[in-house]
Structure 1
Amino acid sequence: MNPARRRMVGGFFIGLCAPAVLRAGQERWRLYAMEDFPPYSYMSGGRFQGIDVDILDRAAGALGVGLDYVALPWRRAILAFDNSPEDGLFQLTPTAERARKWRMVGPIRDTVIVAVTRVGAPFARGVRLEGLRGLRVGVVRGFTYFEAFDRADHFVREVSPDERVSLRKLVLGRVDVVLMGRANARHVIGGLGMDQALRVLPVPLFREGRYLAFHRNPVGLDRGRRLQRELERLHAGGTVSAILRRYGEDDDAG
């Protein structure tokens, strides 16, 4: 079993390392993440797993570091990270403000942002940012999508606590489109049984890397430097692409 595997969900640790692989005095890092965010991080079979978790586990294993994951609602995860100077936070959209404030590490992988619409809605293959003019757009409270979208004011944002609520609003006609990561959209729509009602537009609106952050203090800067080196090695060696393919998301890898 990977020595980096130990899980923590909702504030409670789930120890999954066999005693033989846990070394006395092993360096451990605590990382905050969004809970229930398939296929990137989610609970299944008593384990916190997913694309991002697998990538980070591989990088941490190469460093000889154990990872303790804390899965929380996104806004709580950010708040917990803000108050934990030695810890990390991942699945972050990069912004200039975050780069100034935190040591951003990555990308872990790319996210492809797409529009989800009702079947039969008057959209062809995709929608551009300008094409959202006058529409009601479903977003998640506390999410950063990409900077041009976050600054735009030519559409109405309909904020929801999570993407499941956004998609239910879409089915009910309370919003016109929902913005989501493509891989996450496929999983959530399938899980809700909405495949016949909703359509993921095939042409992406935007593609951008997702990052992990540490604080800009000696501990965070050192951890960021070491993790950055291993992530770059995993990308260059094809490991990240292989993990994405294992989850059926190879088209999101480049």
Structure 2
Amino acid sequence: MPVISKLLIAAFLTCLSLAAYGEKLRIVTEPWAPYVYDDNGSMRGLDYETTVIVFQRLGVEVQWQFLPWKRCLAMLDQGHADGALDIFHSHERDALLLYPAEPLSAVEFVLFYANQRAHPAETLDDLRGLTVGTSPGYLYGEAFSGSTAFTREPAPSHEANFGKLMLGRVDMVVTDRRVGQHLIKELGLEGKVSQAPWVVSRQQQFLAVRRGAGMDLLVQRFAAELKRFKQEPAYAALSAKYGGSQVQTGTVSASGYTVEQQESSAQ
């Protein structure tokens, strides 16, 4: 039997096994607009909607749950979740998780500051003596995470980080560029928050699943279908819908995307 036929049969049996027990693939994630978020009771976002479409094409039913990111990681470790949406690849998790060859999206971690206390950082050294708001469980790269030049202060949510920024409790906030733009708009911070020019790190986001019977084949099928979908006009429309354009550094105007939220690299 050809290898491709064996892979398809094995993947089909995996999905069939889930259905036979009335089970769904349990996926956890943290709200991370515009990639995944709750919009008045409806889940939306570029990566969420992309994943839903891919799993529908594969015939896999999914049960979704929003949790703080550290709780998502604990659920994976404890076996209470089958996978996580928008997780960064970490070699430390290779023994636990399987990552598709095709990423869902790419994030760019940048810094935001309040215009009243401007810190237009261009290098890591420019953070010396400052306090930077972070998100628990997120990986921002070795240089940033290992530096002793500044203080990292976590907050329970991305919104809380920006609230602390406006109150002067932190000097800067680190988060994804597109997430930051989204939050600035949602929180009404146009003209009050700016983006520093320095890019802290770039990361790819994945839909990763726990290792288990048949999961490696499911991951292969997911990657192949995701790659196909990304070539379609429907994906281009989704990307444009959720802020494919970039905003200039400096003060964000009301006419552009504005600023906000998230983690990750653990993410």
Q: What is the TM-score when the length of structure 1 is the normalising length? A: 0.78
Instruction: Structure 2: state its 5+ residue gaps.
Output: 1-18, 248-267
CA contact (8 A) 1:95 1:147 kept: no
Higher strand content, 1 or 2? 1
What does the per-residue CA deviation read over 1:172-202, in whole Å, with 9 as the maximum and x for residues that have no partner?
Answer: 2222111011111122222222223211235
Size of the aligned set, in residue pairs, is: 228
Greater relative CO, 1 or 2 (CA 8 Å, sep 6+): 2
CA shift for structure 1 position 101 = 3.3
1:137 is aligned to: 132
Partner secondary structure for residue 141 of structure 1: coil
Instruction: Structure 1: state its 5+ residue gaps.
Output: 1-22
Whole-angstrom CA distance in 2 between matches of 1:107 and 1:65? 19
Check 1:27–1:228 CA distance in 2 against 1; reply closer, same or farther (3 A cut). Answer: farther
Is 1:113 matched with 2:103? no
1:4 is aligned to: none
Partner secondary structure for residue 38 of structure 1: coil
Alignment of 1:226-241 (within 5 A): 226-237=221-232, 239-241=234-236
Partner secondary structure for residue 34 of structure 2: coil
Partner secondary structure for residue 50 of structure 2: helix
Structure with greater Cα Rg:
2
2:161 to 142, 160, 166: 166
CA RMSD of aligned residues (A): 2.7
CA shift for structure 1 position 152 = 2.8
Is 1:65 matched with 2:60? yes
What does the per-residue CA deviation read over 1:8-35, in whole Å, with 9 as the maximum and x for residues that have no partner?
Answer: xxxxxxxxxxxxxxx999984221111x
Paired residue type of 1:231 = L
2:90 to 88, 95, 98: 95
2:195 is aligned to: 200
Moved more, 24-33 or 190-199: 24-33
Whole-angstrom CA distance in 2 between matches of 1:58 and 1:234? 9
Is 1:104 matched with 2:103? no
1:18 is aligned to: none
Q: What is the TM-score when the length of structure 2 is the normalising length? A: 0.75
Identity of paired residues, percent? Answer: 28
